[in-house]
Amino acid sequence: MEVPRIPQASSLIINSGNVINFECLKKRKRIAQSTTEELKDCLKTVLDSRLKTINWDEEKFKTSLEFTVPCCNPALSDEQTREDLKVTVKAMMCNADPEVIVDAIHRVLKELDTDIIDVLLLSVSEKPNVIETFHMDHLKTLWSVLERMVDKGQIKTLGVCDLEKPALEELYNWAKVKPSIDQVNEISCCIIPPDLNAFSKEKKIQLLTHGDALEILPAEDFQELMKESFSDLDAQGWHTSWVLRYTALIRCRGVITRKGYTVRAQRNLNNI
């Protein structure tokens, strides 16, 4: 009979560290790879590395787990001054709990050893609380938290993802800190709608594109990853709470020196 290795775990955080030199990504440079595939490759690399040295007698009693690769520390070094770097974070939220996004942002600030994020892009899942369907109140709840972080000097610029003109206008009119960017999906929106383009020009909102899936790490994909690294029983019930992707770019050269992911997943053991 299969015995679970992490039977008490209901929260899991995986930090990829700086993935710029990950061999798994280098091998895929010549082929098209979605951001979901890239993310799964990074998480698998972290788990494969950490599970070689894990003490299972200790882990099986833990309710919260965290895995990272110490040798891939993404902290911003002294090679460049902080002013020379542009740090961008995309927060892909599958949970609209205000405390959850605060924890997520604080973690990436600590991970990068910096006090401020230059650009924060907010993306909210179509089902932000697992069973609920997205509506603007979810986004506004999270936006209010980010506005307070702007006031504290922790974030310079706020942007949003995948909002069509009516939703973007609603957010713009409601928000104290106006969105400066709307990042739209290049697959679902290959031609920018005229009304969105006109509104963005009027309000000086920059329109950018991205290739991320609406659900960058679906529950079934994460559970399959857990199954490969742990066991079938350990994989049950997990779903993504949030995914943060960060980059640090040298402004004058346009060179990315840091790129990484931090992921939090949760499960309700009572539902397994």
Q: What is the mean pLDDT of residues 6-34?
A: 77
pLDDT: is 84 or 23 the higher one? 84
- Look-up: residue for tokens 């290795």? 5
Tell me the domain boundaries of the chain: 11-73+82-267
Own/partner pairs for 251-257, CB < 8 Å, 24+ apart?
A: 251/84, 251/85, 251/86, 252/84, 256/20, 257/20, 257/79, 257/80, 257/85
DSSP SS3 for 9: coil
Residue 94 has pLDDT above 80, yes or no: yes
Instruction: Give the start-end residues of each E strand in 16-62.
Output: none
pLDDT of residue 132: 67
Mind listing the pLDDT tens digit for each residue in 184-217? 988 766 688 999 999 999 999 999 999 998 889 9
Match domain 11-73+82-267 to its CATH number in 3.40.50, 3.40.1130, 3.20.20, 3.40.1010.
3.20.20
Confidence of residue 254 (pLDDT cuts 50, 70, 90): confident
Q: Quick one: residue 162, left, alpha or beta (phi over 0 = left, psi -120 to 50 = alpha)?
A: left
8 A C-beta contact, residue 241 and residue 77: no
Other C-beta atoms lying within 10 Å of the C-beta of residue 94: 26
Residue 47 and residue 45: Cα distance in Å, rounded? 6
